[in-house]
Amino acid sequence: MMGYFTWCHGKATRPTNPSEKVPKGSLVINTDSDSIGVFKDGHTWRKFVATLPAYTACNVIEWSWIQEFDLDDKNDIRNGLTILIAWDESNLLNNADWEDSEEDPNVRCGTPPKGWPGEEVDDEWGPCLFHYYAIKDIEAGDEILMAYGEFEDFHADWPRMGLPVEQGLSEPMVADNPEPPKISPTTENK
């Protein structure tokens, strides 16, 4: 695992940059742990989001995605169509697929094919189980970018969970105003 730093600027949300060079094939982030929220149906996910304060709910919606897994371990709760929420550093990785992005992804989530990275292989990667590998050398200070489209089909997957895109979910986007909202200090938690 490598060290990295995250900061805020107006171009994108929270870019993440390695503090040292990362060679191709390196495991950049491993978040296959209990730090991922898992929901098996859209109704339960929506009820959970409705319990959150508005600002927190917006962040949870932004960092939720749907993935379909066909895992060898049929008892793995992630098997099948699943709504996931990243509660860890993986939610700091920006998308190279955005229309205004001029960068290509430099990490990929999944199980690399046998023989990679030592040789070029045509085999498909295994499912995205929260292991992010460098698919090319990443220089210190370069932004770590992934391609969300590798594991999520935004317009197809949400309706399959009973959550039509037209009813309140929006595509991931950068806010027009990069300034965080002003939050007044309070003496009690609500």
pLDDT tens for the chain, 190 residues long, are 455 554 444 454 567 777 889 999 998 888 777 778 899 999 999 999 999 998 888 888 878 888 888 888 888 888 889 998 877 777 777 777 766 667 888 998 888 888 788 766 666 788 777 788 999 999 988 888 888 777 776 667 888 888 766 544 444 433 343 444 443 344 343 3
Looking up tokens 């959150």 gives 52
Q: Two tokens at 5?
A: 């730093």
Cβ proximity of 112 and 122 under 8 Å:
no
Cα–Cα–Cα angle for 117, 123, 124, nearest 5°?
Answer: 100
The confidence score (pLDDT) of residue 37 equals 87
Q: Report how far residue 172's alpha carbon sits from residue 109's, in angstroms, rounded to the nearest whole number.
A: 18
pTM, 2 dp: 0.68
Q: Which of 107, 97, 101, 102 is nearest to 128 (CA)?
A: 107
